[in-house]
Amino acid sequence: MQLTDRQLEIIEIVKKDQPITSENIAVKLNLSRSALRNDLSLLNMIGILEAKTNVGYFYVEKNLSSDLKDLLSNVTVDSVMSIPVVMDEKIPVYDGVVSMFIEDVGTLFVVSDGYLAGVVSRKDFMKNIMGTSDLTGTPLGMIMTRMPNIIYAYPLESVCSAASKLINHEIDSMPVIEKVLINGEEKLKIIGRISKTTITRIFVDLVDGHLGGNE
Ligand code: ADP
């Protein structure tokens, strides 16, 4: 909502001299009290000013960061995750690079017997390509960052927590996993992908009002 110059002026006066009565605001603006009535009731209605009987008007501090935190802590990874690009550890590096281009991703998730075994990023490919020319003979399993060093997210984790993991570990993306027990052994099933792009999209959606029920 676009506030008028007068409404902005009223807010500044209240911020400076609160609590302040409508009579005193009117005096400062050189206007009659009745000329201010609509502006004051609108500012009160939209929660910028609070009116206390026999005391006057107060400015309501809006804590943007705590509002944002409340909103974002309710957004879970499963509601924003994207489709992962998953390849078997035996696939040759050459095919991995081709898939990275075709699928337009920066990270491939690698599986062994269908469960998370590692991650291959652009830099892993570059390192390998500079060190060897056997792109068809080297499997992804040889060049990947492997378990147990893989950072992952859970579907019901908040996106704030997932974003912290990406930043703290300096990685571009993570698999979203579900833990399963296979013959008494814990395995990680890949069900999605969360990346820095996902987090950037949330930020854009927030600004466009597509998050937090403002649609
Ligand atoms: P890029 O290579 O495009 O800079 P990253 O910054 O994500 O991409 O990767 C840097 C290193 O971190 C690579 O060696 C990669 O294997 C590793 N890596 C990427 N994602 C993860 C992850 N989720 N868990 C553990 N290591 C990862």
CATH 3.10.580.10 fits 77-203, yes or no: yes
Atom of ligand 1 nearest to the CA of 172: 7
**Predicted pLDDT at 130:** 87
Gap from CA of 50 to ligand 1 centroid (Å): 50
Task: Give nearest CA residue, ligand 1 atom 5.
Answer: 171
- 157 Rama sector, left if φ>0, alpha if ψ -120 to 50, beta otherwise: beta
- Per-residue confidence at 101, pLDDT binned at 50, 70, 90? very high
**Predicted pLDDT at 70:** 76
Atom of ligand 1 nearest to the CA of 106: 3
Pocket of ligand 1, candidates 105, 142, 172: which has the most ligand atoms within 8 Å of its Cβ, to mutate?
Answer: 172
In the chain, where the domains are located: 5-63, 77-203
Is the pLDDT at 69 greater than 90? The verdict is no
Atom of ligand 1 nearest to the CA of 144: 16
The residues, ordered by sequence, that sit 6+ positions from 39 with a Cβ below 8 Å of its Cβ are 4, 6, 7, 10
Atom of ligand 1 nearest to the CA of 149: 25
Let me know: does 121 contact 195? Beta carbons within 8 Å.
Answer: no
- Per-residue confidence at 61, pLDDT binned at 50, 70, 90? confident
**Predicted pLDDT at 2:** 79
Separation between Cα atoms, residue 215 and residue 66, nearest integer Å = 21
Please name the residue that has the structure tokens 């599986």. Answer: 111
CA–centroid distance for 137 within its chain = 39
Can you give the pTM of this predicted structure? 0.73
Q: What is the mean pLDDT of residues 66-82?
A: 86
Span 127-158, pLDDT tens digits? 998 887 788 999 999 999 999 999 999 999 99
- CA-nearest of 117, 103, 82, 97 to 195 is 82
CATH 1.10.10.10 fits 5-63, yes or no: yes
Q: Phi/psi of residue 124, each to 5°?
A: -60, -40
Task: Give nearest CA residue, ligand 1 atom 4.
Answer: 123
Is the pLDDT at 215 greater than 50? The verdict is no
Gap from CA of 138 to ligand 1 centroid (Å): 19
Task: Give nearest CA residue, ligand 1 atom 19.
Answer: 171
